[in-house]
Amino acid sequence: MKHAKRLAIALSLTVFFVAGPISDLKAQTTDSVYLAKIFTQCTVNALTLFGNIADNFSKYKGDFVAKMDGDIGIYKVKEPLNQGATSEFIMIKPNGSGYYVAVISGDQVLRRMYRGAYFYGINAYAKANNVALVSKKDEATSAGDKEVYFITTGNTKVGSFTYDGANKTVNIVIGVL
């Protein structure tokens, strides 16, 4: 969290940039400090998760839930990481590689905050701290109300973020894709 102060400064303008096109934001809530706090926390959580890819999220892996096809283990998350997540879990492949997966549904303002955090927030933090992390919209898979973003470091995809306006969901996957 040592970068939290710098992140807050870098993101403060970004929050207003993101909130600008959200026409119904004021109708749903007028507490911009609260929204800025959610936005910053979403970005900090994302960056924390990216930092835990190497150890396959062992810090967050909770109790075993089930096995999926392909012998992929599903585990609870010890402590909820993302505010408003409908579900979040850790997937561990047979080769040991781990993935963090979250689904956020419902509240439109919260879903838009996540979209802003995973695009503007990550890019603002990376630029301000000279970190080789980029979030970019994938035009090939984005269409209509569905926006897909890939987060990369160099040529390696380390995450994806899907904002689905029609289904009112946000899907987050973090791990080497």
pLDDT single digits (tens) 43-82: 888 988 999 899 999 999 999 999 999 999 999 999 878 7
Q: Which residues of 106-129 are buried (b: 16+ CB within 10 A; e: fewer)?
A: eeebbbbbbbbbbbbbbbbbbeee
Q: Note the pLDDT tens digit of each residue in 105-115.
A: 988 888 888 88
The model carries a pTM of 0.80
Instruction: Domain count for the chain, please give it.
Output: 1
CA distances from 139 to 38, 122, 144, 148 (A): 27, 19, 11, 8
Q: How far apart are CA 84 and CA 103, in angstroms?
A: 9
Domain holding 75, by residue range, is: 4-174
Summarize the confidence of residues 81-93 as an average pLDDT: 88
Find which of 35-39, 61-65, 82-86 is predicted with most confidence, using mean pLDDT: 61-65
How many angstroms from the chain centroid is the CA of residue 146?
A: 16
Q: Quote the pLDDT of residue 163.
A: 95
Q: How far apart are CA 92 and CA 74, in angstroms?
A: 7
**pLDDT of residue 22 exceeding 60:** no
**pLDDT of residue 133 exceeding 80:** yes
Q: Quote the pLDDT of residue 5.
A: 47
Structure tokens at 92: 């561990």
